[in-house]
Chain A
Amino acid sequence: MSATAHDDHHHGPTFAEIWLLQSTDHKMIGKQYMFIGMFMGLIGAYFAYAFRMQLAFPGVNVPGFGTVSPLEYNALVTNHGTIMIFWVAMPVLIAAFGNFLIPLMIGCDDMVFPRLNRLSVQIFLASAIVLIASFFVHNGGFGGAWTAYPPLSAKAEYNLTPLGSTLWLLAVVLEFAAFLIGGINFITTAMNARAPGMKALDVPMVVWMICIASLLFMASVGPLVAGAVMLLFDQVLGTGFFDPDKGGGPVLWQHLFWFFGHPEVYVVLLPACGITAEIITVFSRKKLFAYKTILYTVIGTGVLSFFVWAHHQFISGIDPRMANVFTITTVLISIPIAEMMFLFIATLYGGSIRFTTPMLWALSFIAEFLIGGVTGIFLGSSGADIYFHDTYFVLAHFHYTFFPIAIIGTFAALTFWFPKMFGRMMNDTLGKIHFWGTIIPFNFIFIPLFYLGAAGQHRRIYNFNHYPQLATPDLQALRVLATVSLLVMLSFQAVFIYNMLYSMFRGKKAPNNPWNANTLEWSCPSPPPHGNFGDELPNCYRGPYEYSVPGRDEDFWPQNLPN
Chain B
Amino acid sequence: MIDLLVQRASTYAADIDNLILLITVITGVWFFLTEFVFFGLLWKFRYQEGKPAQYVTGKEKHLKKWINWPHFLVICCDLIIVVAAVQVWYNVKQDMPEVEKEIRVVGQRWAWSFVHPGADAELGTDDDIKTVGELHIVSNEVYKFNLESRDVMHSFSVPVFRLKQDAIPGRVIQGWFEANAIGQFDIQCAEMCGIGHGIMGAQLFVDTPEEHAAWIAANSN
Nearest residue, chain B, Cβ from A375: B27
**Total contacts A to B, CB within 8 angstroms?**
286
Q: Does A6 contact B (CB under 8 A)?
A: no
Inter-chain contacts of B74 with A (CB < 8 A)? 334-335, 338-339
Is the Cβ of A389 less than 8 Å from the Cβ of B58? no
Is the Cβ of A317 less than 8 Å from the Cβ of B71? no
Q: Does B218 contact A (CB under 8 A)?
A: no
Contact of A461 among B90, B170, B198 (CB under 8 A): B198
Inter-chain contacts of A378 with B (CB < 8 A)? 20, 23-24, 27
Nearest residue, chain B, Cβ from A285: B53
Q: Does B51 contact A (CB under 8 A)?
A: yes
Is the Cβ of A152 less than 8 Å from the Cβ of B192? yes
Is the Cβ of A469 less than 8 Å from the Cβ of B186? yes
Q: Does A145 contact B (CB under 8 A)?
A: yes
Contact of A349 among B35, B45, B47, B191 (CB under 8 A): B45
Q: Does B19 contact A (CB under 8 A)?
A: yes
Knowing A143-B195, A352-B53 are in contact, say whether A345-B89 is a contact too (CB < 8 A): no
Contact of A144 among B1, B24, B75, B194 (CB under 8 A): B194
Q: How far is the CB of B104 from chain A (nearest CB, A)?
A: 16
Knowing A151-B169, A324-B89, A346-B66 are in contact, say whether A384-B19 is a contact too (CB < 8 A): yes
Is the Cβ of B19 less than 8 Å from the Cβ of A456? no
Q: Give Cα distance in the complex from A290 to B94, angstroms.
A: 44
Is the Cβ of B89 less than 8 Å from the Cβ of A382? yes
Is the Cβ of B53 less than 8 Å from the Cβ of A387? no
Is the Cβ of A381 less than 8 Å from the Cβ of B82? yes
Is the Cβ of B173 less than 8 Å from the Cβ of A287? no
Q: Give Cα distance in the complex from A191 to B4, angstroms.
A: 55
Among A320, A343, A355, residue most surrounded by chain B Cβ atoms (within 10 Å): A320
Nearest residue, chain B, Cβ from A381: B85
Q: In residues 18-34 of chain B, which contact A (Cβ within 8 Å)?
A: 19-20, 23-24, 26-28, 30-31, 34
- Interface residues on chain A, number (Cβ under 8 Å): 95
Is the Cβ of A390 less than 8 Å from the Cβ of B198? no
Contact with A along B88-116 (1 / 0, CB 8 A): 11101110000000000000010000000
Inter-chain contacts of B199 with A (CB < 8 A)? 462, 466
Contact of A145 among B89, B109, B192 (CB under 8 A): B192
Is the Cβ of B89 less than 8 Å from the Cβ of A346? no
Contact of A74 among B48, B56, B88, B197 (CB under 8 A): B197
Is the Cβ of B191 less than 8 Å from the Cβ of A390? yes
Inter-chain contacts of B38 with A (CB < 8 A)? 345, 348, 366-367
Knowing A327-B89, A378-B23 are in contact, say whether A349-B46 is a contact too (CB < 8 A): no
Knowing A346-B63, A346-B66, A466-B198 are in contact, say whether A548-B185 is a contact too (CB < 8 A): no
Interface residues of A (CB under 8 A from B): 70-71, 73-74, 143-145, 149-152, 158-160, 244-245, 250-251, 284-291, 293, 314-317, 320-321, 323-324, 327-328, 331-332, 334-335, 338-339, 341-343, 345-346, 348-355, 363, 366-367, 370-371, 374-375, 377-378, 381-384, 386-391, 451, 454-456, 458-463, 466-470, 547-550, 555
Could you pull out 25 A-B pairs where Cβ atoms are within 8 angstroms? A158-B151, A159-B194, A250-B153, A286-B53, A286-B56, A289-B56, A315-B165, A317-B167, A323-B89, A327-B86, A331-B78, A345-B38, A352-B52, A374-B27, A374-B30, A375-B27, A377-B27, A377-B81, A378-B23, A454-B2, A456-B5, A466-B198, A467-B186, A468-B203, A549-B55
Interface residues of B (CB under 8 A from A): 1-2, 5-6, 15-16, 19-20, 23-24, 26-28, 30-31, 34-35, 37-38, 41-42, 45-48, 51-59, 63-64, 66-67, 70-71, 74-75, 78, 81-82, 84-90, 92-94, 109, 151-153, 155, 157, 159-160, 162-171, 173, 185-186, 188-199, 201, 203
User: 19 new A-B pairs (CB below 8 Å) besides A315-B166, A352-B51?
Assistant: A144-B194, A158-B109, A244-B171, A291-B58, A315-B93, A320-B93, A324-B89, A335-B74, A339-B71, A343-B58, A378-B27, A381-B23, A382-B86, A384-B88, A389-B155, A389-B164, A454-B5, A455-B5, A462-B199
